[in-house]
Structure 1
Amino acid sequence: MHLKPEQLNKLCAIAINAATEAGHYISTRANKAVRVELKQSGTTDGDTVSGGSTLASQVVTEVDLMSQQIILKHLTPTLETFDLGLLTEESVDNCSRFAKDYFWCVDPLDGTLPFTEGKPGYAVSIALLTNTGEALVGVVFDPVRKSLYHAIKQQGAFKNYEKIIVHARSDVFSFITDRGFITHPGFRKIKAQVKQYMYAIGYSKFKQIDYGGAAMNAIWVMENSPACYFKLPKASIGGGSIWDFAATTCIFKELGLSVSDFGGNKLKLNSKETTFMNRDGVIYASDAKTSGFIQKLTVKF
């Protein structure tokens, strides 16, 4: 089956409705007591369990699960109508993403950890991908600011339905990172190198943002240009999963911003081996030059 532009538009509208309804629900639960549990990483009876090696990847709440139910209420009818597969964080991977030409990729509450702490940086993230891992539709809803971001391949990227224009600040370079990376043994040296790079390309002020989930971290790269956000390759399970990066990959591609792995290759958004991204790492950058600089960091660490 080949999806036509008008079909992509319809599916994007459905994803927007799903993300918006889920996002508004999440906002009603913000700063309130919620039940928090930890996922387990590994496999069970051949099924991948989604918990990674970091706290951020292991935390799940009743809000994650209800958000997923709201989203699936919108998306489930499209599975038969458009012959789509489905991959969503809080359900077992049924591998329909390999059997179908296209599949939904859903993170019902990306940034669960900041959500439980009452901090900004969480979002709803929904993408439509081909079974080769190309993101055709990307939708992100920020419940804190009630901001909607969406993109459709070859149709542009939008914030609250207005076309996004990326503006570079005159003197500030933003270093956006996961809080877990701060404990990395090479973090101080890496941060120092990022600062050196910043000065070398003509920026005098350094801003660090380290409290968001993957979806909002990528959005903040876009909104705080020049900026970067990356996750180093590592042996342990983690580094985010497909659902953490699929929607923002579509948005970045439509804006001409740089998103890749540490080899400079496109992200593997439908690997048969794992949903995790730890083997190859992830880089979001406001330009190709900055991405190239980040790729070289793996030589030293």
Structure 2
Amino acid sequence: MRAQSKELQTAIRAAHAAGAITLEKFGELSHPEIQVKEFKDFVTDVDKACEAAISSIITENFPEDSMLCEEGTIITGTSGRTWIVDPLDGTLNFIHSFPVFSISIALKGSDDELLTAVVYQPVLKELFTAERGQGAYLNGKKITISSRTDKESFLIGTGMPFKEYHYLESYIGMLKEVIHDSAGIRRAGSAALDLAYTACGRFDGFWEYKLFPWDFAAGVLLVREAGGTITDFSGDPDVFLKQSIIAGNNITHPLLLEKALKHFT
């Protein structure tokens, strides 16, 4: 593994700090610590504590950078660079003591290119990292996307609509076709982890309609640095425009894109 930049070192330190906070409360969250943000969308005191820890570490080291965080921390800097943070991706899992959640931190450059990515799964102590042009890594070991080409062996990740029902029929239509063209589907509940798992070949592909930048920014760089392809549902590589994701290798990405073009407009 190459020498890490200050940006990556800082993101790793911030992710570990947030991870420690999650482990202190995992399985012991009380009802007053859980609040409803909006319909079927929750936030906890742990989300907020993680965000505070991450933003503090990053702003201490890069005071001129901007920040965009899920739980409302927005800092407008002068550098043109933006840190995009999900302090606890998979909050509902966390609330239910389901051990699938992550911390996601990405840095977007002044040229709108993703520069740095960290996705940390604290329960398993799995740290996924990437820097532009430097490859992707899991706990310091280089990772690559799946090389599987037989659709009957594909394991595909997805995220199901749970708040917006107007595209449910389109999703179900696509899901039916993917079920026929794969060995199995998984819906883990953390898009950041889904993309990290695609980057390291655990998933052969992933798709989800309508995510937020903090859900996918770090995962996008991980997949691309691992040799994968990511676009939106129309095939556009600028996923920040429409915020829908298709990720995979040179077989699974075209397969999922074809189905998305058929069922979504």
Query: What's the TM-score once normalised by structure 1's chain length?
Result: 0.76
Provide closer, same or farther for how the CA distance between residues 93 and 113 of structure 1 changes in structure 2, counting only shifts above 3 A: same
Match of 1:300 in 2: 263
Equivalent of residue 254 in structure 1, options 212, 225, 236: 225
Provide the rounded CA distance (Å) in 2 between the counterparts of 1:19 and 1:191.
Answer: 33
**1:141-171, Cα deviation, whole Å (9 max, x unpaired):** 1012111110111111111111124454676
- Distance (Å, rounded) in 2 between the aligned partners of 1:222 and 1:77: 30
1:21 corresponds to which of 4, 17, 22: 17
SS in 1 for 2:181: helix
Asked if structure 2 preserves the Cα contact closer than 8 Å seen for 1:121 and 1:217, the reply is: no
In structure 2, the residue matched to 1:48 is none
Local SS of the residue matching 1:39: strand
Query: Is 1:197 matched up with 2:174?
Result: no
- CA displacement at 1:293 relative to structure 2: 2.5
Q: How does 1:4-83 map to 2 (within 5 A)?
A: 9-34=5-30, 35-40=33-38, 55=40, 58-80=41-63, 83=64
**Which residue matches 1:207?**
184
Deviation of residue 207 (structure 1)? 2.0
Question: 1:202 maps to what in 2?
Answer: none
CA distance in 2, matches of 1:166, 1:280: 22
SS in 2 for 1:15: helix
| Displacement after TM superposition at 1:179 (Å) | 4.1
Aligned to 1:154: 133
Tell me how many residue pairs correspond in the alignment.
255
Paired amino acid for 1:227: D
1:156-199 C-alpha deviation (Å, 9 max, x unpaired): 1111111124454676311212243697224443223113334x
Counterpart of 1:88? 69
Moved more, 145-154 or 126-135: 126-135
Q: Structure 1 vs Structure 2: percent identity of aligned residues? A: 27
Aligned to 1:113: 92
> Distance in 1 between the 2:170 and 2:239 partners?
26
Instruction: Quickly say closer, same or farther: Cα 1:92–1:24, change in 2 above 3 A.
Output: closer
| Gapped regions of structure 2 (runs ≥ 5) | none
1:176 corresponds in structure 2 to 157
Deviates most, 184-193 or 251-260: 184-193
Q: Distance in 1 between matches of 2:55 and 2:263?
A: 44
Distance change (3 Å), C-alpha of 1:167 and 1:126: same
Q: Which moved more, 1:210-219 or 1:165-174?
A: 165-174
Cα distance in 1, alignment partners of residues 250 and 139 from structure 2: 27
User: How high is the TM-score relative to the length of structure 2?
Assistant: 0.85
Point out where structure 1 has 5 or more consecutive residues left out of the alignment: 41-53, 199-205, 233-238, 272-278
Q: Which residue of 2 aligns with 1:228?
A: 205
Q: 1:255, 1:220 → 2: CA distance? A: 11
Task: Name the counterpart of 1:201.
Answer: none
User: 8 Å contact 1:221–1:284 — kept in the other structure?
Assistant: yes
Distance (Å, rounded) in 2 between the aligned partners of 1:15 and 1:249: 16
